[in-house]
Amino acid sequence: MQTIPRLLIVGPIFDTPSGPSGQGGKLYQQLMAEGYVCLKKSAYRNLPLRLLDTLWGVCRFWTYDVILLQSFSLKSFYLQDAVSLLASILGKPVIFTLRGGAFCEFYEQHAKWCKRVLSRAHLINTPSYFIQACIQSKGLKVEYVPNFIDLKRFPFDRSAVKKNTLLWVRAFNDIYHPELAIEAVGILKNEFPDIRLTMLGPDQSTLHACQTLIREKGLETYIDVIGPVPNHELFHYYQTHAVYLNTTRYESFGVALVEAASCGIPCVSVSVGEIPFIWKDEEQMLFAERDAADFASKIKRLLSDHALNLEMGQRANQRAQSFSWNEIKSYWFDRLSAYKRHEGLKS
């Protein structure tokens, strides 16, 4: 493995109790374990500091051969613009991985900018068939490579499920529409007086509004807002709850869905973005309209029919197996083999 290229993986990749965050962090860990020399940028949560730290890492051109750029929309696209421009000046190849459920909408709003930045890529891939089709329609070639999860962290176990329990795992942000889960519980509480919703995730602007909604609907005894939980501890919640709720407005892949499926918890989900490309309605999960009444009716089916609950969880678990690192690593080995390691100045 002496001639394989050295990699600079550009995130954000934050340090967490579960290890480097996000798919960029997971890719960093797995490629390191496979013998690649990897650097990662950046662990700063402050955007200006993250930009400066990342550009400093790119400027150290003698320490890496290829940049793996995790590309998101909105404010972070300024960073991707700067990184790819500097890389082109330095003659460093960049592999873009397009992420984020709102990327296609962002491209429509900023077509010239996006095309200019993406034209600097040596290769573009995405974990989303939805994004792939969208961006390829703009004349750019995009390869598909799914995200992966560490299945060992999310083992199948339905032996300790608590009756009539619901689980929601995302950030409290309008993108993830947590209010839909709350409103569904408000509909179900009369028929299931012991129903309990657990909500996990950091506050990203809508936590206060959600807490106000819970009080207004008198649901304080039915809903537990836990806050953020480290990724390596999530399996405890997936394994002990009866139904998982996915209410997001956008979805470029849905890592949390795969993690939940690996643990065997059946899911009620909106059908947006990548979800209908990966999952089959009525087979591996139940799709619902973005409507509290329809969401509640699908939840009721899974709470009322134990056999359906178990069978759907088992089928979802089987689907999740295709998203292990062992299933996906050959793609990265093949693409990275096109680049050679250049021995130059040493740091």
Q: Which domains does the chain have, with CATH numbers?
A: 7-148+324-336 (3.40.50.2000), 151-322 (3.40.50.2000)
The pLDDT-based confidence of 282 (bands split at 50, 70, 90) is: very high
pLDDT of 96-142, one tens digit each? 999 988 899 999 999 999 999 999 999 999 999 999 999 999 999 99
Q: What share of the chain is helix, strand, coil (3-state, %, to 5)?
A: 45, 20, 35
pLDDT at 16: 86
Strand bridging mode 15-16 / 19-20: antiparallel
Task: List, as own/partner pairs, every contact residues 296-301 make where C-beta atoms lie below 8 angstroms and the sequence separation is at least 24, other chains included.
Answer: 296/184, 296/187, 296/188, 298/268, 299/166, 299/184, 299/188, 299/243, 299/245, 299/268, 300/188, 300/191, 300/192
Under DSSP, the state recorded for 174 is: G
The mean pLDDT of the chain is 94
pLDDT at 63 over 50: yes
pLDDT at 344: 54
Average pLDDT, integer, range 160-179: 97
pTM for the predicted model, two decimal places: 0.90
